[in-house]
Copies of this chain bind each other. A is one copy, B any other.
Amino acid sequence: MSVEDILSAALGLVRREGMHGLTMRAVAAELGVTPMAVYHYVEDKDHLLRMVVERISAGWPLLQPVADDWEAELHWFLVTLWEDLARYPGLGAYMIELPTMGVDPEKLRDGIKFFESAGFHPSVAPLAWSFALTYIHGRISVDAHLAHTPDAPRLEGLHAQDYVNYGVDAVIVGLRELRDRGN
């Protein structure tokens, strides 16, 4: 048994049963071992959760600073994030409560740089970046319970995909407008 085994067992549990299914005892059972054996590789549940968040966000796409078409880049980035986290029910809702939404400092700086390269003033780039992240994490949280029934219709026959598309469009259009106003 290794830390990697524990981590992948944890990720499997979240994928199949959602965040509620991720318990220290379930991880141990998954590995055919006593609950306390896990504590030899992992400090506590909080430590395990941090590893899960790190592993997931490590697989995220990189926001490349581009001057020509930042709208398309941001659109693709947000939708990809949404699709990735949809596979781990409840994880997005957990991350949104973490400091900086669970995003590590490096990726945080990349995002700020991206908005600066897109023409946002350095004083508002962090606000713009945080706005985009907050919306998509909110959307992921809203969709958390729909993960097991992805085709469930909502109001007026609208699907989750429609809400995300409209929301991401609104985010980008709103950001560009604020940028052009210079504040």
CB distance from A37 to the nearest CB of B (A): 28
As a 0/1 sequence over residues 28 to 54 of chain A, the CB contacts with chain B under 8 angstroms (1 = contact) are 000000000000000000000000000
* CA A91 to CA B55, docked complex, whole Å: 28
A62 touches B (CB below 8 Å): no
A residues 59-84 in Cβ contact with B at 8 Å: none
Tell me which of A93, A101, A145, A155 has the highest count of chain B C-beta atoms within 10 A of its own C-beta. A155
A residues 143-175 in Cβ contact with B at 8 Å: 144-145, 155-156, 158, 162-163, 166-167, 169-175
Q: With A101-B142, A167-B131, A173-B177 given, is the CB distance from A126 to B156 under 8 Å? A: yes
Number of copies: 2
As a 0/1 sequence over residues 97 to 122 of chain A, the CB contacts with chain B under 8 angstroms (1 = contact) are 11101000000100010000000000
* CA A148 to CA B54, docked complex, whole Å: 26
Tell me which of A99, A130, A162, A170 has the highest count of chain B C-beta atoms within 10 A of its own C-beta. A170
A6 touches B (CB below 8 Å): no
Q: List 21 A-B contacts (CB under 8 A).
A: A90-B97, A93-B93, A93-B97, A96-B141, A97-B142, A99-B145, A126-B158, A127-B166, A127-B167, A128-B166, A130-B163, A131-B163, A138-B141, A141-B141, A169-B178, A170-B174, A170-B175, A170-B177, A170-B178, A171-B174, A172-B174
Q: Which residue of B lies closest to A144 (CB)?
A: B97
7 nearest A-B residue pairs (beta carbon): A138-B138, A174-B174, A170-B174, A127-B166, A173-B177, A96-B141, A134-B138
Contact B173 A142 (CB under 8 A): no
* CA A145 to CA B95, docked complex, whole Å: 12
